[in-house]
Amino acid sequence: MPLNNVTTLVAEDSAAHTGATAQEQLILDEAFARRDGILQHLEAELATPAQDAVEQARMRMLVRRRAELQHAEQGLIFGRIDALDATVRHLGRVGIPSPSDNGDPLVIDWRAPAARAFYTATPVDPQGQARRRHIRTQGRTVISFEDEPLDGSRASELVGEGALLAALGERRTGQMSTAAATLQREQDDVVRADSRGPLVVQGGPGTGKTVVALHRVAYLLFTYPKLAAQGVLVIGPSPRFLDYIGQVLPALGETAIVSATCDTLVPGVGVERLEQRELAEIKGRALWQQGLARYCASRLPQPAGVELLWEGERYTIDETQTARTIASATSGRSYHGARAVFIQQVQDQLTDAVVARSEATMAQVEDGLEDLLRDFDAVFTHTDNRAASSGATGTDVDGMLTEEDIELLREKIADDDGVNATLQRWWPTLDTTRELRRLLDDEALLEQWVPELTDAERGLIAGEPRTWASSDLPLYDALADLLGDAIPNNGQGEFMSDRASAQRDWVYGHVVIDEAQELSEMQWQMVMRRCPSRSITAVGDIDQAEAPHRHTTWQEAVSAAFGDRWTEAQLSICYRTPMEVMALTGAVLRNAGSQNEPPRAVRAAGIEPWELSVTEGELAAEAARAVEQLSARWKGGMVGVIAPMERLTALREALPGTPVLSASDAKGLEWDATLLIDAPSIAAAPRGWNGLYVALTRCTQELGQLLVR
């Protein structure tokens, strides 16, 4: 082709690209204008106070919509899909309706069914689509776009490869960003999976487990709006991790979220000390659930006669009646729930007894005075029906108690200090803290109620300090649930998240667990209590497990909680960690005893991992120098340091302002560059090869190691 023809084609392509960019800018401008108009309308509506419960519910919906629109300043439009029938749809973070009632939406919410083809259409299965376009914006400006034909003319296993790789190459800021624009097909399958029943998502490092889990929350809240009333619980491995992901869901417009670690799930109780791994493993076993249930049942009162004093007279509820009342009260209820029912029934029985005795006494009096009353009747015949005409009722007329009299008596008995003191002695309220410490401190009680433990294990537990360690909290939660609240806590706060986080027995609509491989069997029980429907999404990598429990497969990890009623999904592609680093992980996994292959990396950084051997005396200075060099190379990004536990204090002093973490604490985080220090010592720790697998795979660009000789 003549050179002048080539130049003409390039110019035409450039002009076409410029024209397409201008067209997308017009559409973005229109979407922002419509969005701003809707926000103004919402502000005006929200300025009017709600008058009733219906209006309050409507106002909550408007507040939610306002939050969605406010957070959509970035990424209002990020994609477009052109159908074979020439239909064009734009996708974005939230839906923007047409200004006209009958018009097509200006922007389709990425969570809507109509948007799914954007994530799942391929040249092999185009799903009626001709082209997918990824649009990059900065605020309200279109800066570029990438077209992806779906006719097979260009093959790629990645959806929007250019946009994805550009996002992966961006500097890390210490906050996870949204990925609605770059979700891949296997990720989208998980996001939109059926919410009924537990879903366990296995994914190696860099496969986007956390992104998928959080976008699944956003999708579920969009698809099932009633979930917002119950809320979604997001459980992460550490407070640092929760800070890292903290902006994702608000940026997607979601506020009906409670974030916690297993250590912060129980209001008012927290971890006070570290503990030995051996003890943590013992107290994490599922056997404690039945052991605590047996112990709690032992604290119930045994059937016996109950003697109560009312206005100087004694009333006895006999043993047979008490036995029936206990059996009725305890059926399916917690200790304090059963106690409340029992006390109410006893108060009712006492009320009935007082009424019966009063009426029997009055009957005796009436029998003895019959003759006298006849004489009075003869004298007062001229004042017939005087009582009725005076308005007197109930005991004023015939000694019989009216319904109102009986109800007033019932209330007085319920409020009587003497009656309540007797019932408290007979069926006392119990304190969870005191009862759990009583059990754990006493080897004889442990042998009686948790007989599955060995003598040595009971000795270890009874010898612990009686402050709370992490593995105590699931036991506390289980016992608190079995005992029930003596005084119900209904949770206070303007927002659902405030009420839910303050209430131990709040039931959530869905639970998402990140790094789920770390949960013990008793921690899984904590999760189940908060979501009895089992609408649970658990994401993790069984090969990254470092917790003291002995699980090496998902079946072992979740069978105590779910049995066989759970579904597994796989994420197989590593998007974050470059090929050069992932090449190191195969041997590490084999040393960890894993039979799995590491996920397949799809991008190269062009930088080989490097090592530097240093002496003990040189370590601090060389670490500071390496961090300085990495920070300069990845300016605007993040550098993280991972080291053995015993080196953390000294390294933090030498590297102020730099995150210096153990492998466990680094789980779920990512940096542009990672400096790994003394890898052999990490590998030598319990489950150390799993920890080293975590440490190697935190970087998006460069990995350096300092080896101590």
Question: Where do the DSSP E strands lie in 28-73?
Answer: none
CA 8 to centroid of chain Cα atoms: 58
CA 50 to centroid of chain Cα atoms: 31
| Edge-to-edge strand ranges of the sheet holding 79-83 | 108-109, 88-92, 79-83, 129-138, 141-149
Q: Which residues touch 47 (CB under 8 Å, ≥6 apart)?
A: none
Can you tell me the distance from the alpha carbon of 599 to that of 579, in angstroms, rounded to the nearest whole number? 10
DSSP summary character for residue 652? H
Q: Radius of gyration over alpha carbons of the chain, in Å?
A: 34
Task: Say how many residues make up the chain.
Answer: 709
Can you tell me the distance from the alpha carbon of 249 to that of 265, in angstroms, rounded to the nearest whole number? 20
> Binding residue per annotation — 210?
yes
> Binding residue per annotation — 120?
no
3-state SS of 491-506?
CCCCCHHHHHHCCCCC
> Binding residue per annotation — 18?
no
End-to-end CA distance of the chain: 63
Query: Which two three-digit tokens encode residue 540?
Result: 């993790």
> Binding residue per annotation — 128?
no
DSSP summary character for residue 571? E
> Binding residue per annotation — 209?
yes
Can you tell me the distance from the alpha carbon of 532 to that of 604, in angstroms, rounded to the nearest whole number? 44
φ, ψ of residue 601 in degrees (nearest 5): -75, 145
Can you tell me the distance from the alpha carbon of 640 to that of 695, in angstroms, rounded to the nearest whole number? 10
- HSE-up (13 A, CA, CB side) for residue 304: 10
- CA of 479: how far to CAs of 177, 290, 292, 424, 472, in Å? 39, 10, 6, 20, 11
Ramachandran class of 224: left when φ > 0, alpha when ψ lies in -120 to 50, beta otherwise: beta
- CA of 105: how far to CAs of 38, 42, 90, 112, in Å? 14, 19, 9, 12
Residues 505, 485: contact at Cβ < 8 Å?
yes
Can you tell me the distance from the alpha carbon of 285 to that of 194, in angstroms, rounded to the nearest whole number? 30
Can you tell me the distance from the alpha carbon of 672 to that of 681, in angstroms, rounded to the nearest whole number? 24
Query: Which two three-digit tokens encode residue 444?
Result: 């004889």
Q: Which residues touch 434 (CB under 8 Å, ≥6 apart)?
A: none
> Binding residue per annotation — 704?
no
> Binding residue per annotation — 206?
yes
Residues 578, 604: contact at Cβ < 8 Å?
yes
Q: Which residues touch 6 (CB under 8 Å, ≥6 apart)?
A: none
Can you tell me the distance from the alpha carbon of 517 to that of 592, in angstroms, rounded to the nearest whole number? 15
Coil/strand/helix, residue 295: helix
Which residue positions form the known binding site?
203-210
Which residue positions form the known binding site for ATP?
203-210
